[in-house]
Amino acid sequence: MNICRVLTAVILTAGIASLLGCSEGNRIELTEEQNKALVQRIHSEISKGNLGIFDEVLSPDYVRHCQAMPPESQELRGTEEFKAFVADFIRAVPDCNDKIEFVLADSNMVAYVTTTTGTQTGPMGDLPASGREFTLKNIVIQRIEDGKIAETWISWDNVAMLTQLGFFPPAAQNEP
């Protein structure tokens, strides 16, 4: 058995495999169970406030796709851009709780559903703090490559979220 695969199974891409050169010339392929564990580990670390986890588990050329975002944010590229996005969201919703409901894996793809709850106490993009609570279902698919998350697709009902926060339907405009 390839020593890089054994090490990766033990440490679940905690950064040591790349230090040992396992990612150079030897592709790291995790099992479906290891891919699911990787996703669950990320959610556990984020709930503890550890955004540094992204440095360990995201590919340097990571891409996040989300049609529910404004056009300029529908595709985020790279670890730093994604970490900044998550940090902004946590500032807007400091009591955010994201619970994984179930996880499915097929080869290097992991799909899961989460329930996110929280109170928007800070601005979220152009939206001012509403002080309102929300509950949101997310559908997430992640592609794992070389032991790290290379790509994410996420979808949610943006109208449901905006309605719960009091931003939809939009306030009527005063006509002259």
Q: Which residues of 4-24 are buried (b: 16+ CB within 10 A; e: fewer)?
A: bbebbbeebbeeebbeeebbe
Mean pLDDT per 10-residue segment, the chain (176 residues): 38 41 67 95 90 95 94 93 94 95 96 97 96 98 96 96 95 62
Q: Which are the contacts of 132, defined by CB distance < 8 A and separation ≥ 6?
A: 119, 120, 164, 165, 166
For the chain, what are the domain ranges?
31-164
Burial 110-123 (b: 16+ CB within 10 A, else e): bbbebebebbbebe
Find tokens 């807007």 and name the residue.
Answer: 92
Gyration radius of the chain over CA positions: 18
Q: Are 164 and 73 in contact (CB under 8 A)?
A: no
Query: What is the assigned CATH class of domain 31-164?
Result: alpha beta
What integer pLDDT is reported at residue 2 of this predicted model? 41
Query: Would you report the helix, strand and coil content of the chain in percent, each value rounded to 5?
Result: 35, 30, 35
DSSP structural state of residue 66? -
